[in-house]
Amino acid sequence: MSDVRHVLVLPDRDAAEEAAEALGERFGLTEEPQLVRDALAGEDDAEDAQWLLVVEDPDEVLDPAALDAFAGEWDGWREEP
């Protein structure tokens, strides 16, 4: 078992919450992704934050390209490790 994580970067909380729900359904995740607020440097307003979905993939079964395309549906992307 490895320690693989995928991080999807999404533009706002609504997109992140919708994507988190859809992610489990589409990819058959057994564990819910972790939702994390990532404030941009120097930004005080919560509206100026990106949201991250951290997806654990210990068995390395998730396709990075498919996750990137999935995040793109919400104007986001997958961070490269």
Residue-wise pLDDT tens digits, 4-43 = 899 999 999 999 999 999 998 999 988 889 999 987 655 5
Chain Cα centroid distance, residue 11: 10
Dihedral class, residue 4 (left if φ above 0, else alpha if ψ from -120 to 50, else beta):
beta
Question: Does 32 or 69 have the greater pLDDT score?
Answer: 69
CB-based burial of residue 19 (10 Å sphere; 0-12 exposed, 13-18 middle, 19+ buried)? buried
Are the beta carbons of 77 and 16 closer than 8 angstroms? no
Instruction: Give the predicted TM-score (pTM) of the model.
Output: 0.84
